[in-house]
Amino acid sequence: MFLKQSSSGDMVEVMDMTALGDPCRDSVSGRVHAGEELQEAEMFAKSDLVFPSGEDLPRCWRDASYRDH
């Protein structure tokens, strides 16, 4: 799945879909897609990722206490 890093505008290929949907994890492994060479995987904070349309990630993916509010 591709998401956009809101701080830079770069597209990020999420490598671990399980971590993306896990509200107890605040970061995911991914690769920036910029330039011609394949980039090394690195960790990205979920708070800095949005859908390519600019929409925020669902709260249930980011907040383990989403049902308490």
pLDDT digits (tens, 9 = 90+) for 59-69: 999 998 888 86
Chain-wide mean pLDDT for the chain? 93
Question: Is the per-residue pLDDT at 38 higher than 90?
Answer: no
Residue 15 near residue 21, CB atoms below 8 Å: no
pTM: 0.86
**Range(s) of the domain holding residue 32:** 2-50
Q: Is residue 21 part of a domain?
A: yes
The stretches of the chain forming alpha helices (DSSP H) are: 17-21, 59-62
Q: How far are the Cα atoms of 17, 23, 36 from residue 47, in angstroms, in the given order?
A: 16, 11, 27
The average pLDDT across 5-15 equals: 95
Q: Is residue 32 part of a domain?
A: yes
pLDDT more than 70, % of the chain: 99
Q: Is residue 46 part of a domain?
A: yes
Cα separation, 45 vs 57, whole angstroms = 12
- Closest by CA to 30, choosing from 9, 47, 45, 51, is 45
How many domains is the chain built from?
1
pLDDT at residue 20 in the model: 96
